[in-house]
């Protein structure tokens, strides 16, 4: 034999697949014997690690999804804050609601609308409730009391 054994030849010998010449060289060559012992030691260590080390605990899908959760919550909160800001500041500034609208005015408008809706001609008409004028809450309460107790008006 002219040269020392190649790593492939040493691997074949460890797998009991080496030829007679390769095994004869290994038995006669101290350098190849040392290499073979190192390879055997490395293979034993690899086998021991693979056999004795517990598998790594991985939660790939769950971890990836939970990684998105804080970002999604933050974006949702930011969107909600923006929506509230638009509603409170911008929308109120664009469409000012008259703060002095009295309940009587609202009642008058509503009675006009209902009289127009429920009249056949489209006009509120002379006998509509508009002529009675808007009622206050106290008047309505008095009417309810009269109806319930039967007291004279
Ligand atoms: Zn050798």
Q: Do 8 and 53 share a structural domain?
A: yes
Ligand 1 centre and the CA of 32: distance in Å?
A: 4
> How far apart, in whole angstroms, are the C-alpha atoms of residue 21 and residue 28?
11
The tens digit of pLDDT for each residue in 86-107 reads 888 877 777 765 667 777 888 8
Q: Say if 78 falls within a structural domain.
A: no
Ligand 1 centre and the CA of 49: distance in Å?
A: 29
Q: Do 62 and 18 share a structural domain?
A: yes
Q: Do 110 and 66 share a structural domain?
A: no
Give the pLDDT mean for 106-135.
Answer: 68
Ligand 1 centre and the CA of 48: distance in Å?
A: 28
Ligand 1 centre and the CA of 13: distance in Å?
A: 13
> How far apart, in whole angstroms, are the C-alpha atoms of residue 79 and residue 81?
5
Domain boundary among 31, 51, 72: 72
Q: Contact at 8 Å (CB) between 51 and 30?
A: no
Residue-level pLDDT at 29:
95
pLDDT for residue 128 is more than 50: no
> Within 10 Å of residue 53's Cβ, how many Cβ atoms?
8
Residue-number span of the structural domain to which 128 is assigned: 103-149
Ligand 1 centre and the CA of 5: distance in Å?
A: 6
Residue-level pLDDT at 99:
63
pLDDT for residue 138 is more than 90: no
Ligand 1 centre and the CA of 140: distance in Å?
A: 115
Mean pLDDT for the chain?
Answer: 81
DSSP per residue over 12-50, as a string?
HHHTT---HHHHHHHHH-HHHHHHHHHHHHHHHHHHHHH
Q: Do 4 and 64 share a structural domain?
A: yes
The tens digit of pLDDT for each residue in 11-44 reads 999 999 999 999 999 999 999 999 999 999 999 9
């Amino acid at each position: 034999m002219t040269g020392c054994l190649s790593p492939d030849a040493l691997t074949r010998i460890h797998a009991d697949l080496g030829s007679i010449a390769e095994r004869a060289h290994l038995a006669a060559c101290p350098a190849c014997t040392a290499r073979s012992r190192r390879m055997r030691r490395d293979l034993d260590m690899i086998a021991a690690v693979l056999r004795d080390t517990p598998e790594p605990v991985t939660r790939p899908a769950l971890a990836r999804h939970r990684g998105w959760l804080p970002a999604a919550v933050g974006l949702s909160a930011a969107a909600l804050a923006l929506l509230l800001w638009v509603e409170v500041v911008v929308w109120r500034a664009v469409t000012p609601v008259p703060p002095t609208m009295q309940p009587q005015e609202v009642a008058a408008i509503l009675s006009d609308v209902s009289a127009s809706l429920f009249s056949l001609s489209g006009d509120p008409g002379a006998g509509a409730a508009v002529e009675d004028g808007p009622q206050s809450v106290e008047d309505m309460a008095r009417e309810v009391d009269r109806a319930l107790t039967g007291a004279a008006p």
